[in-house]
C-alpha cells in the first residue's frame, strides 16, 4: 500500500524554504532564471537560448526608460532629497513600462553600490548583490504579485503578514502588485490599514491599466505616476537601435510601421519587431534590408503607399483603380477591414495636416505622411475629408458585419468613388451662382437690394442676412441618391421681410386679414377658426365688413365678430352677411401661396441643377418665412427666391466642421 506516499513526500524531502515550484504567490517565471549573469548585450548569442527582445532589452535604469521623462525627473529628485514615497501608483496602457519602472525603483531602493557601501540611489549600479538579484527576479525582499490571479483578501493578508518582518537581504521590502485594480473590495480594505501606516522598511508599488477601478482611499495614499504612451518617433528610434544591436536592418518605413502598430507600447512594439525579424529573414532586399512590405504583410496591412493610392483614387472618383489596388492588397494577404481602417486613419492624418499645418514639420510624422499627406491636405477640402471619414466609418462596420468582407469593402470603395464623382454642393452652388448672376436672374441678396431702391428691398436683404446668420434656415433638403442618404443644407429660403402688419399694434384693422388677426389676439379661438376656414370676404371697409359664411358656421358668428371688434377697437362695427361668392378663405389663399412657392422653387435653375445631378433627390417642404400666420404674403411685392450662402455644405449645420482653410462667411 502506498496511499501515504504523497502526503509523506514533503516531510521526507525536507524542502528548503525559499525555493518554490511553479509560479508562487510572487511567482517568478522559472524560464527567466537563465544562468547567465552578464548584461544582455554582451552575451554570446549563439550559446544562449533566444530571448525575446522585450525581455532582452528591458530597461534597467531610469535613463533607459523612454518617453517617461516627467516621471523620471520626479523620481530622481525624490531620491536626491531622500524623500521617496512608501507607496506608488503607476498607471498607463499595457506595455508602456509600469512593472519595468517598478523594478528599477526596487533596485534604486536596495542598491548598495559596487563597494557595498552605497545608499539608495536613482542610478542603481547593476552589479551589487541586490541589483543582480532583482535583475534576475530572485531577490527575497522584492516580491511581485499579479492581482489579476490573486484577487482575494487572503492573498493580501499574506502580503500584510510579510510586511511585519525585516527585509532578509536588502534595505527595503518592495511589494510590486500588478493590475492592482483587480483586487476585491475586501482585499483593498485589508491593504488600506497597512498603507495608512506603512512600516518604515516597506514600499508598495502598484501598477494598473485601469486607474478608475482603484478606490480613492488607496489612490490618495500613493504617489501617482501616469506613464504616457511612448511617441511614435521615440519608438522608431528605440527599435532602430535594437535592430542595429541585433544586426538586422529594417527600412525606415518598416520601422515606422512597427512603431505605428505598437500604439505607444514598447513591449508590443518589441514583440512585433521580434516577429518582423523572424519573418523578414530571407525576405530582405538586395541590400539585406527588411522592407515595409514584409511588415505590412505581417501586420495584415496594405502597403503604406497602397493606402495613399487607394485614398487618392476614391477621393478623385476612380473606381477601377481603387478596386485594382484593393485586389492587389488582398492577394498579398491584406485584410479588407484593415485596409479600410488604414484609409480611415489616413483621412484623419490628412485632416489633421489640413487643420494644423505646423504638424507638417513634426518629427512624429512618418515621411510618407508628411510628403503625400501634405499634398492631399492641400488638395482635398475638409468637407470632402469629413464625408470620406463618415463613409469609411460606416463602411468598416459593414465589412465587419458582412459574410464576404472583401465584397463589402469593394462596395464601400465604389460608393466613395461615386460620391467623389458628384460635384460637391459647394462647387455646384458656386458655379451656378456665378452663371446665374451673369444671366441676370437676380437670385442673390445683393442683386435684390440693387434691383429696387425701395426701403423694403433694403429690409429684405438685411433680414435675410440676419436670418441666415442666426441659423433660422428652413430645414435642409433631404437628398436621397443611390441608397446613400445625404443631407444637404441647400435651403430654398424665401426672403424674410418683416411683415409691417402688426395686428396688436393696430387697434383699427385696415384689412380683413388684420381683422381676423385681431380676433385671434382676443383669444377668440373658435371664432377665429371659423373666420379663417369658412369666411369669404365680400367687402371690407374700416367699420363695415360684408361676409359670406359657409353653411356649417353657426348663425351667431357675424354678431359675435361684431362684438369682438367693437370691444377690441373701441369703435362701432357693422358685419353684414351676403350671398355673394366673395374671396376664397384665408386658409385656401395660404395653401395657394405655398403651391405657388413650390412651383417657383422647382423652376429655379439651382434646384433644377441639383435635381439633375442627384436624380433621386426630392424637393422637401417649401416654407416661406415671409408669409404671415395665414400663409399669406405681406402687402409688399414678393421679391425673387433667394438661396443659401455660398459655403453651404453637404453636412447639417451641427455636423459642419471647423475649417480654417475656408473663408468664413
Least gap, CB of 128 to Zn ion (angstroms): 3
**124 vs 645, beta carbon nearer Zn ion:** 124
Least gap, CB of 30 to Zn ion (angstroms): 24
Q: Is the CB of residue 283 less than 8 Å from the CB of residue 296?
A: no
**107 vs 370, beta carbon nearer Zn ion:** 107
**128 vs 651, beta carbon nearer Zn ion:** 128
State how far the Cα of 236 lies from the Cα of 255, in Å rounded to an integer.
6
**124 vs 366, beta carbon nearer Zn ion:** 124
Pairing status of strand 87-91 against strand 223-226: parallel
Q: 509: burial class by Cβ within 10 Å (0-12, 13-18, 19+)?
A: buried
Full strand arrangement of the beta sheet holding 202-208? 142-146, 173-178, 202-208, 87-91, 223-226
Q: Is the CB of residue 522 less than 8 Å from the CB of residue 564?
A: yes
**Sequence-ordered list of residues with C-beta below 8 angstroms from that of 460, at least 6 positions apart, any chain:** 445, 448, 449, 495, 496, 497, 639
Least gap, CB of 88 to Zn ion (angstroms): 20
Least gap, CB of 119 to Zn ion (angstroms): 11
**64 vs 647, beta carbon nearer Zn ion:** 64
Least gap, CB of 126 to Zn ion (angstroms): 6
Least gap, CB of 34 to Zn ion (angstroms): 20
**Torsions phi, psi for 547 (to 5 deg):** -130, 160
Three-state DSSP at 537 gives: strand
Least gap, CB of 152 to Zn ion (angstroms): 35
**117 vs 212, beta carbon nearer Zn ion:** 117
Cell 404674403 maps to which residue? 633
Least gap, CB of 242 to Zn ion (angstroms): 24
Q: Is the CB of residue 96 less than 8 Å from the CB of residue 265?
A: yes
The per-residue DSSP string of 30-91 comes to GGG--S--S-GGGS-TTTSPP--HHHHT---SGGG--S-HHHHHHHHHHHHHT---SEEEEE
Three-state DSSP at 332 gives: coil
Inter-axis angle of helices 69-81 and 98-110, nearest 10: 20
State how far the Cα of 513 lies from the Cα of 342, in Å rounded to an integer.
63
Q: Is the CB of residue 257 less than 8 Å from the CB of residue 219?
A: no
Least gap, CB of 109 to Zn ion (angstroms): 10
Q: Of 337, 347, 449, nearest to 389 (Cα)?
A: 347
State how far the Cα of 573 lies from the Cα of 561, in Å rounded to an integer.
9
The DSSP bridge partners found for residue 203 are: 174
**126 vs 300, beta carbon nearer Zn ion:** 126
Q: Is the CB of residue 276 less than 8 Å from the CB of residue 316?
A: no
Least gap, CB of 129 to Zn ion (angstroms): 8
Least gap, CB of 137 to Zn ion (angstroms): 15
Least gap, CB of 75 to Zn ion (angstroms): 16
**105 vs 448, beta carbon nearer Zn ion:** 105
Give the residues lining the site for Zn ion (CB under 5 A): 111, 124-125, 128, 131
**131 vs 301, beta carbon nearer Zn ion:** 131
**133 vs 445, beta carbon nearer Zn ion:** 133
Q: Is the CB of residue 369 less than 8 Å from the CB of residue 349?
A: yes
State how far the Cα of 351 lies from the Cα of 330, in Å rounded to an integer.
27
Pairing status of strand 289-290 against strand 249-250: parallel
Least gap, CB of 113 to Zn ion (angstroms): 6
Least gap, CB of 82 to Zn ion (angstroms): 17
CB atoms < 10 A from the CB of 538, how many? 18
**131 vs 388, beta carbon nearer Zn ion:** 131
**111 vs 496, beta carbon nearer Zn ion:** 111
Q: Of 361, 245, 269, 203, nearest to 66 (Cα)?
A: 269
Cell 505646423 maps to which residue? 358
Q: Is the CB of residue 464 less than 8 Å from the CB of residue 496?
A: yes
**120 vs 341, beta carbon nearer Zn ion:** 120
**125 vs 289, beta carbon nearer Zn ion:** 125
Amino acid at each position: 500500500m502506498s496511499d501515504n506516499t504523497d502526503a509523506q513526500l514533503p516531510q521526507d524531502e525536507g524542502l528548503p524554504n525559499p525555493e518554490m515550484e511553479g509560479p508562487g504567490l510572487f511567482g517568478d517565471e522559472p524560464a527567466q532564471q537563465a544562468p547567465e549573469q552578464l548584461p544582455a548585450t554582451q552575451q554570446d548569442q549563439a550559446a544562449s537560448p533566444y530571448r525575446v527582445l522585450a525581455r532582452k532589452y528591458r530597461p534597467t535604469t531610469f535613463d533607459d526608460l523612454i518617453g517617461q521623462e516627467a516621471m523620471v525627473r520626479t523620481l530622481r529628485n525624490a531620491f536626491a532629497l531622500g524623500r521617496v514615497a512608501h507607496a506608488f501608483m503607476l498607471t498607463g496602457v499595457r506595455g508602456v513600462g509600469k512593472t519595468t519602472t517598478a523594478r528599477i525603483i526596487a533596485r534604486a531602493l536596495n542598491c548598495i553600490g559596487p563597494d557595498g557601501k552605497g545608499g539608495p540611489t536613482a542610478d542603481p549600479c547593476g552589479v551589487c548583490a541586490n541589483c543582480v538579484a532583482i535583475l534576475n527576479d530572485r531577490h527575497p525582499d522584492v516580491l511581485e504579485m499579479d492581482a489579476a490571479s490573486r484577487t482575494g483578501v487572503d492573498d493580501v493578508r499574506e502580503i500584510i503578514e510579510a510586511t511585519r518582518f525585516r527585509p532578509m537581504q536588502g534595505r527595503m521590502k518592495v511589494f510590486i502588485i500588478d493590475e492592482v485594480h483587480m483586487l476585491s473590495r475586501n482585499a483593498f480594505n485589508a491593504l488600506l490599514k497597512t498603507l495608512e501606516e506603512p512600516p518604515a522598511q516597506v514600499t508598495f508599488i502598484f501598477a494598473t491599466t485601469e486607474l478608475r477601478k482603484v478606490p480613492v482611499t488607496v489612490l490618495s495614499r500613493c504617489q501617482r505616476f501616469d506613464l504616457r504612451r511612448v511617441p511614435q518617433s521615440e519608438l522608431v528610434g528605440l527599435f532602430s537601435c535594437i535592430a542595429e544591436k541585433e544586426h538586422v536592418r529594417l527600412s525606415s518605413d518598416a520601422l515606422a510601421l512597427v512603431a505605428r502598430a505598437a500604439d505607444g507600447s514598447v513591449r508590443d512594439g518589441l514583440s512585433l519587431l521580434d516577429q518582423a525579424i523572424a519573418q523578414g529573414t530571407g525576405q530582405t532586399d538586395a541590400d539585406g534590408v527588411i522592407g515595409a512590405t514584409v511588415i505590412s504583410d505581417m501586420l495584415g496591412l496594405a502597403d503604406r503607399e497602397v493606402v495613399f493610392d487607394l485614398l487618392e483614387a476614391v477621393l478623385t472618383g476612380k473606381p477601377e483603380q481603387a478596386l485594382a489596388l484593393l485586389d492587389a492588397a488582398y492577394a498579398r494577404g491584406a485584410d479588407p477591414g484593415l485596409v479600410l481602417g488604414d484609409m480611415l486613419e489616413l483621412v484623419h492624418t490628412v485632416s489633421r495636416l489640413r487643420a494644423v499645418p505646423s504638424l507638417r514639420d513634426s518629427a512624429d510624422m512618418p515621411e510618407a505622411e508628411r510628403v503625400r499627406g501634405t499634398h492631399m491636405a492641400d488638395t482635398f477640402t475638409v468637407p470632402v475629408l469629413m464625408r470620406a471619414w463618415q463613409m469609411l466609418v460606416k463602411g468598416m462596420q459593414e465589412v465587419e458585419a458582412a459574410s464576404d468582407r472583401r465584397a463589402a469593402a469593394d462596395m464601400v470603395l465604389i460608393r466613395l468613388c461615386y460620391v467623389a464623382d458628384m460635384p460637391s454642393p459647394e462647387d455646384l452652388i458656386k458655379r451656378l451662382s456665378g452663371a446665374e448672376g451673369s444671366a441676370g436672374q437676380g437670385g442673390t441678396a445683393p442683386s435684390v437690394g440693387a434691383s429696387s431702391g425701395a426701403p423694403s428691398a433694403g429690409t429684405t436683404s438685411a433680414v435675410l442676412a440676419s436670418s441666415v446668420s442666426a441659423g433660422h434656415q428652413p430645414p435642409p433638403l433631404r437628398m436621397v441618391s443611390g441608397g446613400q442618404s445625404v443631407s444637404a443644407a441647400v435651403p430654398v429660403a424665401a426672403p424674410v421681410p418683416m411683415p409691417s402688419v402688426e395686428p396688436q399694434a393696430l387697434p383699427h384693422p385696415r384689412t380683413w386679414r388684420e381683422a381676423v388677426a385681431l380676433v385671434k389676439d382676443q383669444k377668440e379661438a373658435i371664432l377665429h377658426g371659423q373666420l379663417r376656414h369658412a369666411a369669404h370676404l365680400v367687402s371690407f371697409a374700416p367699420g363695415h365688413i360684408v361676409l359670406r359664411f359657409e353653411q356649417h358656421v353657426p348663425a351667431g358668428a357675424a354678431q359675435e365678430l361684431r362684438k369682438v371688434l367693437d370691444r377690441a377697437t373701441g369703435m362701432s362695427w357693422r358685419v353684414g352677411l351676403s350671398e355673394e361668392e366673395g374671396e376664397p378663405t384665408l386658409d385656401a389663399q395660404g395653401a395657394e401661396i405655398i403651391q405657388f412657392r413650390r412651383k417657383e422653387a422647382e423652376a429655379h435653375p439651382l434646384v433644377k441643377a441639383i435635381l439633375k445631378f442627384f436624380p433621386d433627390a426630392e424637393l422637401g417642404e417649401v416654407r416661406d418665412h415671409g408669409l404671415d400666420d395665414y400663409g399669406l404674403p405681406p402687402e409688399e411685392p414678393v421679391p425673387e427666391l433667394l438661396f443659401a450662402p455660398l459655403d453651404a455644405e453637404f453636412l447639417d449645420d451641427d455636423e459642419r466642421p471647423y475649417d480654417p482653410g475656408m473663408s468664413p462667411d
